[in-house]
A and B are shown apart, each in its own frame.
Chain A
Amino acid sequence: MELFLQNFANIDSLVKIWPLLVQGLSLTLLLSLVSLPLGLLAGLTVAVTYSFGNTFSRRLIIVMIDLLRSFPALVLLILIYYSLPFFGISLPGFAAVVLALVINNTGYYGEIFRAGIESVPRSQHEAAAALGFGRGRAMVYLILPQAVRRVVAPLASNSLELVKMTSLASLVALPELLRSARVAQEQTYNPTPLTAAAVIFFVMLWPFSRWVSQMEKKALKERA
């Protein structure tokens, strides 16, 4: 037990590496704060385009969404980060990670918003038209508010996944929380920084993860 504590919860090395971890945490938060709204916006745009589209553009969007969903985020990130330099374009790590996360989540958010918009009954569109709403105004004021309410649970769940995915940045040498912990671990020859990073991630994400699971349970109950 003592050996265990010394290895995995070593106070001395924790004090030493704490500033490094705090720095990492702030980069993790920044990555999330930039990627999350951009991803939501991109997904929403795709979904609204779908609902205004004709049969052909609708098919095209579905194919695009499925392609994006079939692609591991890390493959996208590696493709962006390691292959663009062959064209003389070198994107900084931060931009590459944000771009990869946004492209990847456009597929997920797009599908979620799309399902939400589709689930609003046809009669709502007709009623809006009868009241003299244009299609754009009907979408913004009548359809979207109802659509979003129906998909809050998957939206929250996907947003949590997006924040968790920021840890991929550690693989392109961006010093976010996980990467900082790895660096600290190599300096101290001690896995305490890894434990600390895991604890920080857990404390930070757990409330959201509980909230998401409550909402998923409610959704299941409604279907049963």
Chain B
Amino acid sequence: MSVGDYIRDSQIWKSIFRHPAPYDRRNRVVVMLTNFFLHLHPVSIKQHGIALSYTWCMGGITFFLFLVETITGVLLMFYYRPTLEWAFNDILALRDVTTLGIMREIHRWGAHAMVITVWLHMYRVFLTGSYKPPREFNWVVGVILLKLTLLLSFTGYLLPWDQLAIWAITVGSNMARATPVLGHEGPGFQFLNLGGYDLITNASDARFLLLGSRFVGEETLNRFYILHCVAIPLASAGLIAIHFWRVRKDGGISQPL
């Protein structure tokens, strides 16, 4: 009896994988049904639906990059402190002295790649008409996920707390100042006033809500840190689950009707 057989015969192995190795047709079906990670997939799939020149694999890569970002991001969170005193120095140390500081490079390049792959996924879904009935609503979920991907990248942009970071966020968030009605330089902010006093000022408008301050400062760093590490990833994870579930329920990958 070989070592491999010995392991596969053990009680431990059998308690985890409840079927023999997927070498024959029956077990290849069973593995898809009994494995938690694989049960996202159907047991069998139309041949054209797995052709790379049809799918471009961009949705799958986006999801994989999301996982990469989560793992490298959690590792970075062990090291990085989101305060004015430490944020920049921690990133500097990650670059120069920290073991496995390359996690930051992977995290940043992975984020850029994710933005590109999510666009290409949308591009492919549009070009194959895959948003047409019955998949209309999943396209809507996808648009929200696209938006969340951009917001994830945007909030993460601030965390290194260098010149690139704060000025990119300053430029980006200055727009919120001009939000109609809710921004203190937006059209119609005068409508919200009480007895002649403006309710919308630079300390109470949409930009203040985003930054937690009248300019990009420590409150902003904290706010963006929470958004980047907790709030948006949770929202994305939930929507990704719905997105995948609906792909299955709407009949799998799109195909000619």
Partners in one complex: no
Query: Chain A interface (Cβ within 8 Å of chain B)?
Result: none
Query: Chain B interface (Cβ within 8 Å of chain A)?
Result: none
